[in-house]
């Protein structure tokens, strides 16, 4: 259920008529970055350019905000009560990294670190969302209402209530260019019309088109894809690209709206398989973990911090390894009552982990509440179906006599219903799960994270159900978890690069 207040916004594209607008609802404790991804999804912005929010901003002066100031600036406000508000015009909120201009500007806040409720706190408050500083698209966003509805499932948010107009067309020259395109398609003749037809690969274009059902399907899936692009610098999978390009509409009887831009400059069609490898740092020595991380730096792989290493280091290694450029899978397999798991994940998701897992056997309520918390932080949450170290005989010993494949399928289905991003499952179950979940328009890319991966010639060790890396990818695995064949190799980096 929605445990946080719900914000209802009105958003309108500026400098264009007829109006293109949306009325929508979100939880108030999502990050400003996620709010940006939601807006981009609703207005057909394809994650090809930078974005930011600009506004007169009211932010509670607490430690979170104080950390963004220089120490001398903080000293100026040291006498202000903790719950006071600082108001300043034209503060910028964007994703901050080493490439950000003026990264140390006091007026700049990181969109991934600050929540919507910290920036917009009162009805009629507004911010301006700016996308593509060349074409200069601007959306005015106004908070209409703050709603308390604990009966609404958190997985139903964000949701679009109503709207008009299709959205923008990437790289057309901004609102002025969009007006020219609209005029050309109204005339349906002339050189300019023919040029636009060739570019957009269509001979008819209606920018008044608005499909709320399609919008609500996309607004729940696309923000996670965009978080990977902007925050984790990951290329989306082919299935994600197909979803972004609305390939799922090809099977419908009614024609789909024309794709406004057939080219996706930031979405390379060829994915380096190394970026789908999660190297398991299953070691009991922090120094050894650091050595492995430095050896693998720059390859594009993920790192997995499991229970053993987490017990030694806590969350400090997450921040350290992310500074080296890695995405982090925190493999803690939580399984407890729903409230405990929810509260724990609120802490773990804030640590910067990109992916966390829970046991599917914890049940629907536990998984649903866990997913709500993780998605507020743009953290992927996956479920463990059956441990890959277990076989049918061991399952029978604990009272589960169902066929292994049927048990995995049932638990994976429950995870999907609860809103998880995917499941952990043996590659031998992947073909069945791919038939069950995708590719399809309803699942986008339900992640299948596969441990028990062994290169040809490797020892199976304690894994009962294993497959080789290429065979696992061919079967449909999204990520491959590989440990000892890399971490115990004489040259871990070379072992990783030689997997494919």
Q: What are phi and psi of 404, to 5 degrees?
A: -55, -45
Preceding amide of 18 cis, omega within 30: yes
SS3 content of the chain, % helix, strand, coil (to 5): 40, 20, 40
Contact 167, 42 (CB under 8 A): yes
Is residue 333 part of the annotated active site? The answer reads: yes
In the set 117, 179, 247, 333, the catalytic residue is 333
Please tell me the distance from the alpha carbon of residue 102 to that of residue 272, in angstroms, as a whole number: 32
Q: What are phi and psi of 143, to 5 degrees?
A: -80, 115
- Summary count for the chain: helices (H), strands (E): 19, 16
Please tell me the distance from the alpha carbon of residue 421 to that of residue 345, in angstroms, as a whole number: 15
Q: What are phi and psi of 205, to 5 degrees?
A: -150, 125
Among 1, 445, 401, CA closest to 222: 445
Contact 422, 448 (CB under 8 A): yes
Q: How do strand 328-334 and strand 355-359 relate by DSSP bridges?
A: parallel
Beta bridge partners of 25: 8, 159
End-to-end CA distance of the chain: 44
Query: Whats the size of the chain, residue-wise?
Result: 500
Greatest Cα pair distance, the chain, in angstroms, is 76
What is the set of active-site residues?
333
């Amino acid at each position: 259920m929605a445990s946080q207040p719900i914000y209802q916004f009105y958003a309108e594209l500026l400098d264009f008529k007829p109006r293109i607008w949306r009325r929508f609802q979100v939880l108030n404790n999502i990050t400003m970055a996620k709010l940006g991804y939601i807006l981009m999804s609703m207005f057909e912005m394809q994650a090809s350019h930078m974005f930011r929010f600009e506004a007169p901003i009211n932010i509670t002066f607490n430690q979170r905000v104080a950390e963004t100031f220089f120490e001398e600036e903080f000293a100026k406000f040291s006498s202000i009560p903790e719950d006071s508000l600082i108001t300043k015009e034209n503060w910028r909120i964007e994703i901050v990294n080493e490439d950000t201009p003026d990264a140390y500007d006091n007026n700049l806040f990181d969109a991934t670190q600050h929540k919507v409720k910290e920036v917009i706190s009162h009805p009629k408050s507004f911010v301006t969302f700016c996308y593509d500083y060349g074409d200069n698209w601007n959306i005015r966003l106004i908070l209409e209402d703050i709603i308390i509805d604990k009966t609404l499932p958190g997985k139903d948010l964000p949701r679009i209530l109503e709207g008009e107009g299709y959205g923008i067309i990437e790289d057309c020259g901004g609102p002025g260019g969009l007006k020219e395109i609209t005029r050309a398609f109204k005339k349906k003749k002339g050189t300019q019309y023919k040029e636009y037809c060739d570019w957009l690969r269509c001979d008819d274009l209606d920018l008044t088109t608005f499909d709320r059902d399609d919008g609500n399907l996309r607004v729940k899936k696309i923000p996670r894809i965009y978080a990977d692009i902007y925050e984790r610098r990951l290329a989306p999978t082919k299935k994600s690209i197909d979803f972004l390009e609305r390939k799922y509409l090809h099977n419908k009887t009614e024609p789909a709206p024309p794709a406004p831009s057939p080219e996706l400059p930031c979405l390379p069609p060829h994915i380096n398989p190394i970026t789908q490898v999660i190297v398991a740092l299953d070691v009991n020595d922090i120094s050894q973990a650091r050595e492995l991380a430095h050896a693998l730096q720059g390859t594009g792989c993920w790192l997995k911090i499991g229970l053993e290493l987490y017990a030694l280091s806590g969350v400090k290694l997450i921040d350290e390894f992310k500074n080296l450029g890695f995405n982090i899978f925190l493999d803690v397999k939580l399984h407890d009552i729903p409230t405990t798991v929810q509260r724990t994940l609120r802490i773990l998701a804030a640590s910067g982990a990109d992916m966390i897992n829970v046991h599917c056997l914890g049940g629907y309520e536990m998984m649903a509440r866990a997913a709500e918390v993780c998605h507020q932080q743009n953290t992927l949450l996956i479920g463990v179906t059956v441990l890959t170290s277990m076989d049918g005989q061991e399952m029978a010993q604990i009272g589960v006599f169902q066929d292994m494949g049927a048990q995995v399928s049932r638990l994976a289905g429950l995870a999907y219903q609860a809103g998880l991003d995917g499941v952990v499952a043996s590659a031998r179950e992947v073909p069945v799960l791919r038939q069950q979940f995708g590719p399809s328009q309803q699942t986008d890319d339900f992640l299948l994270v596969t441990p028990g991966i062994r290169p040809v010639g490797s020892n199976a060790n304690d894994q009962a159900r294993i497959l080789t890396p290429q065979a696992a990818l061919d079967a449909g695995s999204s990520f491959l978890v590989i440990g000892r064949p890399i971490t115990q190799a004489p040259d871990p980096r070379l072992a990783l690069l030689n997997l494919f």
